[in-house]
Structure 1
Amino acid sequence: MAQSSPVQTARGPVEAAGLGRVLMHEHVFVLTADVQSNYPSEWGDEDERVADAVRRLRELPSAGISTIVDVTVIGQGRNIARIKRIAEQVPELNIVVATGIYTFDAVPMFFWQRARETMTEFFVRDITEGVTDTGIKAGMLKCAVDEKGLTEGVERVLRAVARAHVATGGTPITIHTHAAGKHGPAIVAVLKAEGVDLSRVVLGHSGDAVRDPDYLAAMADTGLTLGMDRFGIDHFATFTERSDLVVEMCRRGYAHRMVLAHDTCCYIDWFGPGRLDDLKDWHYLHVSQDVLPYLREHDVAGADIDAMLVANPARILAG
């Protein structure tokens, strides 16, 4: 019988059985690195930002969450040294970090004129050797296919991520998607062509497709896992719509093909002051405090909840 691989976290490898309940698509900080380095007053005091993140993350274990996957990559201000500092102060929570590139259109200029293998080599290095000198190895690959679909640049990143997955023996992949665009079939075609194990791929933001469970069922039937991972972002769909979609997919027998999360963070600089004040439930505790009770009240079995929060994440992360 094949053995699962340990899952790499910000405090070292953890066996699958030690992951507990997992939120599969979160962030700690989402930042514009060039702006932050040139206008540090926007960021403010580093120690205060870190202390705020530590305070927020310490609330998760008491809410039943043992692990989060921080899917922050290049293009979102990834800083693994900062994550290491935070993780050391929250030892009761596992933080899996990611490698990859977040772009909706063109390849970042750094990679544009370099050999196509460069991106894959960078990702593989993060997975096998660790990120910079932190000693922390990435446990997830990340890319994005948004409204524009598979542009030349987006496809190049997707293929680089797929090749890093293959080269490292199946490192899991999560893909930010634009649910309304229904780019899933095109994504699957590329992944299959590159030899990716679809059982270790999460089709992120699938929960935005609240009016199209048939599309999600077709995607899940390929072997992908559906990321129902934007709870609290009511700009795209309401709490009830998102929750009812999960209820319906469980009714159809797809609990084994879903994971849950919020896609939230402690701080994001992509929006001006006050722009997100109306998202009162966009925080790390929303799934535990509000979503799970709703699912139970609507006859989602405990085994299905365990599948979405425990068994499926362990299968994806550990193999």
Structure 2
Amino acid sequence: MVSVPTVAGPRDHTALGRVLMHEHVFVLNHEYEINYPDSWDHEARIDDAVAKLDDLKAHGIDTIVDLTVLGLGRDIARVREVAERTETTVIAATGFYTFAELPTYLRLRGPGRLIDAGEPMVDMFVRDLTEGIAGTGIRAAILKCATDVPGITPDVERVLRAVARAHRETGAPISTHTDPHLQRGLEQQKLFAEEGVDLTRVVIGHSGDTEDLDYLQALLDNGSYLGMDRFGLDSRLSFERRVQTVVDLTARGYADRIVLSHDTSCHSDNFPADYRAKHLPDWRFGHISEDVLPALRAAGVTDAQIDTMLVETPRAIFGRTPPL
């Protein structure tokens, strides 16, 4: 049995229950909050997040993986306030989220940079995984990186290689953001393989944004899991087509290589609640339990296959992480 670090303390990997593998508690822009403090009501936001995660628990979900990392406003102290008040388990991540460039602090530091030294992100990520985030002792349990429309730019390449090296040093799994329409997941797998990453420890995220089964099959053939993890984000792909893609993949025998999620948040500075309510009403934590699972069952996906995607596969992903 493996002890998995969570925000509220370690959990046995067999006790995570039903897991949503790609979610967020808070997505923040701290610079705006500092300069425009009326944009953040601390007590109201914490209370709201607790209520949303309590409701998620009532919908039968036990754990979320919070893939909020640097670049998305990770604030582990705030997440801890929420995690200590809800029965929903929250797993934290480390890594960096950028589509093109790193911030100046990191662009100036690293091999061949103005401040010429080793890659600082490797040490940052390893410390988060082994010692804890921001001096809290709360350890991350998974690594996160992103490749979107710009592709593997020089700075994105630095992030991906740093994530790969932290994975090799710690054994932590990797979860990614991709643009599947440009087949960025295959590019990520190629780079990870160059770095010696075990591709069976990688979740290629946002794979559910496409119904290109040939592309998804190629990712599977390379050994990785597929994140069908944007249910409710119907502006990218309709509900019906997302469900059908999962149905098609389970019919091919890949229920054990799929994880489900929404990629939504309790609060996001980028997508205010009124915008989501008007334009993306199903992009919410209860959507999978209320709508997706019944639709999968109606299309012939069995309860055993659903349990595989929500329970057994996340358990396998975290169960192979060595205790630290």
Deviation of 1:317 (Å): 1.7
Say if 1:273 and 1:18 are closer, same or farther in 2 by CA, change over 3 A: closer
Deviation of 1:114 (Å): 1.1
Matched, 1:227 2:223: no
Deviation of 1:54 (Å): 0.4
Task: Name the structure 2 match of 1:61.
Answer: 57
1:37 to 26, 34, 38: 34
Moved more, 298-307 or 286-295: 298-307
1:278-297 → structure 2 map (5 Å cutoff): 278-297=279-298
Task: Name the structure 2 match of 1:182.
Answer: 183
Matched, 1:11 2:46: no
Deviation of 1:275 (Å): 3.1
Matched, 1:267 2:293: no
Q: Secondary structure at the match of 2:93?
A: strand
Superposed CA deviations along residues 236-275 of structure 1, whole A, max 9, x for unmatched, are 0111111111001111111111100000001111246743
Answer yes or no: is the 8 Å Cα contact 1:7–1:15 preserved in 2.
yes
Say if 1:296 and 1:79 are closer, same or farther in 2 by CA, change over 3 A: same
Identity between Structure 1 and Structure 2 (%): 50
Q: What TM-score, normalized to structure 2? A: 0.94
State how far apart, in whole Å, the 1-side matches of 2:96 and 2:46 are: 24
State the AA in 2 paired with 1:150. I
2:66 to 70, 73, 78: 70
Say if 1:273 and 1:48 are closer, same or farther in 2 by CA, change over 3 A: closer
Task: Name the structure 2 match of 1:132.
Answer: 134
The count of aligned residue pairs is 312
Superposed CA deviations along residues 89-115 of structure 1, whole A, max 9, x for unmatched, are 01x211000111100001221111212
1:82-161 → structure 2 map (5 Å cutoff): 82-90=78-86, 92-115=87-110, 116-161=118-163
State the AA in 1 paired with 2:119. E
State how far apart, in whole Å, the 1-side matches of 2:260 and 2:20 are: 6
Task: Name the structure 1 match of 2:240.
Answer: 240
State the AA in 2 paired with 1:79. D
State the AA in 2 paired with 1:112. R
Task: Name the structure 1 match of 2:113.
Answer: none
Answer yes or no: is the 8 Å Cα contact 1:84–1:134 preserved in 2.
no
Answer yes or no: is the 8 Å Cα contact 1:217–1:254 preserved in 2.
no
Q: What TM-score, normalized to structure 1? A: 0.95
Computed over aligned residues only, the root mean square deviation of the Cα atoms, in angstroms, reads 1.2
Task: Name the structure 2 match of 1:80.
Answer: 76
State how far apart, in whole Å, the 1-side matches of 2:10 and 2:169 are: 19
Matched, 1:171 2:172: yes
State how far apart, in whole Å, the 2-side matches of 1:317 and 1:176 are: 19
Q: Secondary structure at the match of 2:145?
A: strand
Task: Name the structure 1 match of 2:306.
Answer: 305
Say if 1:145 and 1:17 are closer, same or farther in 2 by CA, change over 3 A: same
State how far apart, in whole Å, the 2-side matches of 1:85 and 1:216 are: 38
State the AA in 1 paired with 2:269. D
Unaligned runs of 5+ in 1: none
